[in-house]
Structure 1
Amino acid sequence: MIKLIECPRDAMQGIPEFIDTAIKAAYINQLLEVGFDTIDFGSFVSPKAIPQMRDTAEVLSLLDLHNAKSKLLAIVANVRGAEDAMDFPEIDYLGFPLSVSETFQKRNTNASIKQALNTVEEIQNLCEVKGKTLVTYLSMGFGNPYGDPYSPELVAGFVEKLDQLGIKIISLSDTIGVADAPLITSLLSLQISAFPHIEFGAHLHSRTEDIGAKVRAGAKAGCRRFDGALKGFGGCPMADDELVGNMATEVMIATLEENGFDLKLNKPEFDEAMKLAGFVFNP
């Protein structure tokens, strides 16, 4: 079964003009009607770092979760953010960005990799106590532009450390869109075979013309968890001067269905979400 994680948070976070809270909530409520496995809806991070997400708690209060099949995920960057997210029983998953690049870890969370690993352990302990699940994103998981060390063996070392902490979901993240199909297949295959008890996801950024090949490469490797954003909006504002957009969900859906996967989505509601995305991101 394929799990699609729709990421309006990732799509919105780098937009400099503040999106009205009611508009955010209306958009996410429409996404909840589609039947995605999970909605990455917001983040509990410093409003100075990501001002667009300063209203995450208010957005959550406006969501209609009655009969919603989708689970909610919020990104956190430190223990304080995790503690804030713990106050909301509606949130199922906490996501933490751990980077295999020392430079990007400092840019993204103002911490070293060693400090970030300690934070992961603390948040994992909180999640176990509070009944939530931690999703760890391995940022720069397919390479980085900073000249920091990178290799598949390095990634495997990070996965080993996370496995020792009891992390059950790890999403390999191509933060700047550098991965090609062969690397995606080989890296995911290696991790999935070595750690069959861990659920591996792919959070890939991509040019539109490369999305289909990347999805097929991930599926070929056995990956069944894919992140995307409608129309490919977004990208990490901490990563580089030129943002590479998210994987366009509509292209991922078409690719997966062409390859025989039944995604069990409500297509009329998806069409409405696509129309609303055009309004939210191109007012």
Structure 2
Amino acid sequence: MSAPSLPGRVLVREVGPRDGFQNEPEVVPTDDKVRLIDALARTGLRRIEVTSFVRADVIPQLADAAEVLRRIDVPDGVAVSVLVPNERGLDAALALRDRFDEVSVFLSASETHNRHNVNRSVEASLDGLQRVLGRAREAGLRCEAVISTAFGCPYEGAVDEDRVLDIARRLVADGAQEIGFGDTTGMANPLGVGRFFTRAAQALGDDVQLTAHFHNTRGQGLANVLAALQAGCASLESSFGELGGCPFPPGATGNVATEDVVSMLHEMGIETGVDLAAVLEAARAVRDVLGRPLGSHTLTAGPVDWSGTA
């Protein structure tokens, strides 16, 4: 039996500075955020989501979004992304338009999770995002739309694949150039992931970048990454140190760790352009800032040593 085909190169997008820091119980000092983002920007990562323009009373961990954007020092060739929930968030971001390259918007595939997350129906979210995407494209920004709970909802259970794809088609029609499919609470499994990304590629076509966003809640994160790759997906989102998570259901852990993803890809001969040692250094730095152990396996065990000298 021949091995499934895999992409020769995979784009890894770092979301820890946004997705990770917003889920920390304490506010990470701005100086530390800037230092860590600057370090990540020098690891070979080509896309980094650095913050989100959300209400400070809702997510105080990201109340310093504007200051972070002003202060980071990111080399040429590294695309800086910000997350915006609505037009008000976009307005705040556009005041610093020269400091970032991409904008991400989001909604959930399930009604219940969307109402818990943004207090709106899915239809109302789509109406609002149509305006956000249109204005962002007019401003020359590349646009990603993330669909949370794409592989299951902790409140509603199974989420219909056709519903997820219908939402994706509408977001593409409204201007999204990339669709991220989020396994928000780690409910995906490899067989389902492979089937879904095969269908998504057929439904959305070659002009739309498909991105996989997995959480490691039940230890299946890397298996799901492999399944997505085998289905042709060559773009992943991850978080250094396995930071992140979903604030609602108990036990929801962080995103797959960037260093775990990069380590696995390199061991399989897939290029990422990322320096694993540099990412591990950044993960150690954020572990020191947070003052607690992190879930990353490669951070704990170290990269594979093929010299046999361990």
Q: TM range, normalised to the smaller chain?
A: over 0.9
Match of 2:92 among 75, 80, 84: 84
Q: Return the offset for 1:276.
A: 0.9
Matched, 1:247 2:256: yes
Alignment of 1:115-154 (within 5 A): 115-147=124-156, 150-154=159-163
CA offsets per residue over residues 37-80 of structure 1, 9 Å max, x none? 21111000011111100001111121112x34321111111110
SS in 2 for 1:40: strand
Retained in 1: the 8 A contact 2:259–2:276?
no
Alignment of 1:102-117 (within 5 A): 102-117=111-126
Q: Which residue of 1 aligns with 2:197?
A: 188
Structure 1 residue ranges, 4+ long, deviating more than 3 angstroms after superposition: none
Question: How many residues of Structure 1 are paired with residues of Structure 2 in the alignment?
Answer: 281
CA offsets per residue over residues 214-239 of structure 1, 9 Å max, x none? 111111111111111112122122x3
Q: Which residue of 2 aligns with 1:99?
A: 108
TM-score normalised by structure 2 residue count: 0.86
Q: Which residue of 1 aligns with 2:81?
A: 73
Q: Return the offset for 1:258.
A: 2.2
SS in 1 for 2:24: coil
Match of 2:268 among 235, 255, 259: 259
Q: Which residue of 2 aligns with 1:226?
A: 236
Retained in 2: the 8 A contact 1:37–1:71?
yes
Tell which deviates more after alignment, 185-194 or 170-179: 185-194
Q: Which residue of 1 aligns with 2:291?
A: 282
Q: Return the offset for 1:148.
A: 6.6
Pair 1:252–1:195, CA change in 2 (3 A): same
The whole-number CA distance in structure 1 between the counterparts of 2:275 and 2:155 is: 42
Retained in 2: the 8 A contact 1:36–1:70?
yes
Pair 1:29–1:202, CA change in 2 (3 A): same
Match of 1:5 among 13, 16, 27: 13
User: How many percent of aligned residue pairs carry the same amino acid?
Assistant: 28
The whole-number CA distance in structure 2 between the counterparts of 1:53 and 1:184 is: 31
Pair 1:266–1:149, CA change in 2 (3 A): closer
SS in 2 for 1:47: coil
SS in 1 for 2:88: helix
